Amino acid sequence: MMKKLTIFMLLLVTAIFTVATPVRADVGPKSSVELTIIGAPETYAFDFLIPLRWSMQDDFYEGHLDNYYLDVYPEALIGYQDSDYFASCFLYSNAPCYFHFVEAKSGEDGDVFRHTYFSAPKTFKAVIVTDEGHIITSPELNRTLFDARVTWDLTGVDLTQPQSNAGTISESYPVGAGILDFLLRLTLTVVIELGILFLFMYRKRESYLFVLKINIITQTLLTLGILLAYYFTSIFGAIALLFIGEIVVITVETVLYGTHLPKTEKKVTPAIIYGVTANLISAFAMIFLFYITHLLSGRM
């Protein structure tokens, strides 16, 4: 049994890395960045800066200016490139770099900007231009999550003069939500598969303990992989991994149930049918749960 479980783990890890590989085609949901600025002046202009590893472009598509969230794009950022070769994402990105001001967060200081229309930059800086024309940039950040939540804290920074790499910028990780998500999905899967075991007329304690032990191993690995794909790629990546992983799980669990459950209750064919049925039902339940949680999280 341990040999089969080892093979399952290797196959599942391979599937995780395969699904996590970025897809370049313009399909599926786009990544996003929600940036909260704390300690900014009352009025200012904002943009993302992206690295340009070539000489600065002298021109840009002026039609982009019509999509800026303010009436006028700050002239100070037209042609601007800092010492690390970062320049305006809005003006010089190959893909559209549209973002919008969301709101001041309730109960705390901070303005929220959200980049959602096209894939958000992976590596970027944040920049503001004050009413006096001073350019203030954040340190560089490499985004890791598909939908990133980032905070740029300018508390204590002198905003009356230009500043480079000012304040602190950090990405937050939904650890608590991820743990609850994992426990919910794991518990739901185990309950479904044990319930189906009961419907297949299995009654011995040994059968339930065996199925429970196998599910804790296989579903823990599969659920962790799916959640990592969800947070670091997209819901499409998670569903793709779910299908790949379920094929592996169905194969492994059906073999194990077909060889072990008959020893406890003398039923070979029902054990095989049970393995396929239980995993298919739990897989569809996971897809439905992903869709609901995806809607509730606002990632559509």
Q: 68-83, pLDDT tens digit by residue?
A: 889 999 999 998 999 9
- pLDDT for residue 214: 92
Q: Which of 17-31, 220-234, 247-261 has the highest mean pLDDT?
A: 247-261
Q: In the predicted model, what is the mean pLDDT of residues 270-276?
A: 87
The per-residue pLDDT of the chain, averaged, comes to: 81
pLDDT bin (cut points 50, 70, 90) of residue 59 is low
Answer whether 273's CB lies under 8 Å from 55's CB: no
| Whole-prediction pTM | 0.68
Output 115 or 237, whichever has higher pLDDT: 115
Q: Retrieve residue 146's tokens.
A: 């598909």
Q: In the predicted model, what is the mean pLDDT of residues 18-32?
A: 49
- pLDDT for residue 1: 45
Measured CA to CA, the distance from residue 81 to residue 86 in angstroms comes to 5
DSSP run (H or E) holding 151: strand 147-153
Measured CA to CA, the distance from residue 61 to residue 73 in angstroms comes to 13
